[in-house]
Amino acid sequence: MSVSVENLAKNVVALEVTVEAEKFVNAVNQTAKGLAKRVNIPGFRKGKAPRRMVELHVGKAALYDEALDKVIGPAYAQAVAESGIRPVDRPDVELVQVEEGKELIFKAKVVVRPEVVLGEYKGLNVEQNAATVTEEQVMEELKGRQQQHARLLTIEDGKVENGDIVTLDFEGFKDDLPFAGGKAENYELVIGSGTFIPGFEEGLIGAEIGQHADVNVTFPDEYHSAELAGQKAVFKTDIKKIQRKELSPLDDEFAKDVSEFETLDELKTDLRNKLMKIGESKAKDDYLKAVITKVVDNASVEIPEVMFTERINDMVEELNNNLIAQGMTMDQYYQFTNSSEQKMREQLRPQAVEGVKTDLVLEAVAKAEGITVTEDEVNEGIQKLGERFKQDPAVLKQSLMERGQMEFFRQNLVQEKTVNFLAEQNA
């Protein structure tokens, strides 16, 4: 087999692949034998019909099409390996010569991974901000504990206030007619949570238990239902129960109840220390992000559109898997977020663009600096991953190999090592 490479455009190449005549003939013969076993040919038992009869029965084109599938895939993979190109998309294959007794020739046009021109990536002198903790942050943490350990009281006689948990029945009407999806019974709603469309929760404030209340609203212009978008509606509601949190005072007794400490001052000191660790971690992350941003901004690369599309596809697939794990569908997600697949993909695009360019630039830095990982470092990484997810490292490694993810795991380790290298070079 022989391969020639032609650069057609930026990041687009054409491979012309020539396969030995014998390989194509063998593929045609093997295909004919397989078809003879699968199809009924009058006058012959299955698998016994000669190739000439198989060809007459199924047609030469069908026979050649299946034979070409057997040859072109492996030949293309070998051509990619021999030429050293790095495709990022499926090839567009054009047959040049297909005739038994002659060499099989085909062209494969494909988009390839772009070359990165690195700018300055050392000595950028990026400063890391010092972590600080204010008294206001400590108090916010305390108030959070206060909310978590609050008693939930049922209000027997009173009116709905902001922050209350209200149980209600409701039904929505537009032009005096009920609309689909606008009715519920015994629905629990936290007033002020922003769960419902604007105006609904606010319209319930001041309502009393057992009271019927009409709440007038206007649906947002971008609401997912075209029938309701921008329309006025009224929700007929009945308040069935009001629950309200009773907060404990922030004193030493509170500290004893919610922690292992005896005094409020001890609890505050512990919270301050924890916030400082979080702040230090965030400061480090912000520093790494600032370094990478500068390195990426200093580099130049023309990225094929297909790489952004593939990254967005991966992000959508990850979201879909997460939703499935939560018992939710994508359609429900679009409804709850007042979005659509097109809107979501548009929102994900900037993140995809940044992610693809960052990966390419970090890969280029690793190549320029000869940054690699040893087998011991790979095993150490698997060991840490196993400890994190409480899995046997040997089982985890086997799983990565069986799923074809070992090279991806290795690349992640190289990228992590590259980021650490850049952090050291730009402090």
Q: What does R_g of the chain's alpha carbons equal in angstroms?
A: 33
DSSP letter string, 169-210 = EEEEEETTEEEEEEEEEEEEEETTS--SSTTHHHHHTT-BTT
Distance, in Å, from the CA atom of 383 to the CA atom of 311, rounded to the nearest integer, reads: 28
Question: Do 192 and 100 belong to one domain?
Answer: no
What is the token pair recorded at 145? 């504990």
Q: Which of 61, 80, 111 is the last residue of a domain?
A: 111
Distances (CA, A) of 45 to 42, 59, 203, 209, 406: 8, 19, 80, 83, 47
User: What does the pLDDT look like over 174-227, one tens digit per residue?
Assistant: 999 999 888 999 999 999 988 888 899 999 999 998 889 899 999 988 887 888
Distance, in Å, from the CA atom of 163 to the CA atom of 424, rounded to the nearest integer, reads: 48
The answer to whether residues 423 and 288 touch, using CB atoms and an 8 Å cutoff, is yes
By DSSP bridging, strand 232-246 and strand 212-218 are: antiparallel
Is residue 132 in a domain?
no
What is the token pair recorded at 339? 């979005």
Distance, in Å, from the CA atom of 302 to the CA atom of 335, rounded to the nearest integer, reads: 36
Smallest CA-to-CA distance from 170 within 227, 234, 226 is with 234
Question: Do 327 and 391 belong to one domain?
Answer: yes
Smallest CA-to-CA distance from 3 within 76, 59, 52 is with 76
Distance, in Å, from the CA atom of 33 to the CA atom of 25, rounded to the nearest integer, reads: 13
Distance, in Å, from the CA atom of 231 to the CA atom of 339, rounded to the nearest integer, reads: 18
pTM (whole model) above 0.75 = no
The answer to whether residues 306 and 109 touch, using CB atoms and an 8 Å cutoff, is no
Single-letter amino acid, residue 156: E
Question: Do 268 and 234 belong to one domain?
Answer: no
Distance, in Å, from the CA atom of 111 to the CA atom of 91, rounded to the nearest integer, reads: 8
Compute how many other C-beta atoms are within 10 angstroms of the C-beta atom of residue 7: 10
Q: Which of 111, 137, 170 is the last residue of a domain?
A: 111
Smallest CA-to-CA distance from 25 within 59, 56, 57, 70 is with 70
CATH number at residue 31: 3.30.70.1050
Is residue 90 in a domain?
yes
Q: Which of 187, 214, 246 is the last residue of a domain?
A: 246
Give the residue carrying structure tokens 């009945």: 238
Question: What domain range includes position 320?
Answer: 264-425
Question: Do 350 and 323 belong to one domain?
Answer: yes
Distance, in Å, from the CA atom of 190 to the CA atom of 265, rounded to the nearest integer, reads: 32
What residue spans of 6-134 are helical by DSSP H?
21-38, 51-58, 60-83
Provide the domain count of the chain. 3
CATH number at residue 395: 1.10.3120.10
Is residue 18 in a domain?
yes
| 3-class state of residue 42 by DSSP | coil
Is residue 117 in a domain?
no
What residue spans of 200-304 are helical by DSSP H?
200-204, 252-258, 264-298
Distance, in Å, from the CA atom of 51 to the CA atom of 349, rounded to the nearest integer, reads: 53
pLDDT in tens, the chain (427 residues): 899 999 998 899 999 999 999 999 889 888 878 776 777 776 666 666 676 666 666 677 888 888 899 999 999 999 999 999 999 999 999 999 988 889 999 999 999 999 999 999 999 988 889 999 999 999 999 999 998 899 999 988 889 999 999 999 999 999 999 998 889 999 999 999 888 888 999 999 999 988 898 999 999 888 878 888 899 999 999 999 999 989 999 999 999 999 999 999 999 999 999 999 999 999 999 999 999 999 999 999 999 999 999 999 999 999 999 999 888 888 888 887 878 899 999 999 999 999 999 999 999 999 999 999 999 999 999 999 888 888 898 999 999 999 889 999 999 999 999 999 999 998 7
Question: Do 304 and 357 belong to one domain?
Answer: yes
Question: Do 241 and 381 belong to one domain?
Answer: no
Distance, in Å, from the CA atom of 403 to the CA atom of 419, rounded to the nearest integer, reads: 27
Helix or strand run (H / E) with residue 418:
helix 406-425
The answer to whether residues 169 and 238 touch, using CB atoms and an 8 Å cutoff, is yes
The answer to whether residues 246 and 159 touch, using CB atoms and an 8 Å cutoff, is no
Give the residue carrying structure tokens 């409701």: 170
Distance, in Å, from the CA atom of 369 to the CA atom of 425, rounded to the nearest integer, reads: 12
Supply angle C-alpha 212, 214, 219, rounded to 5. 145
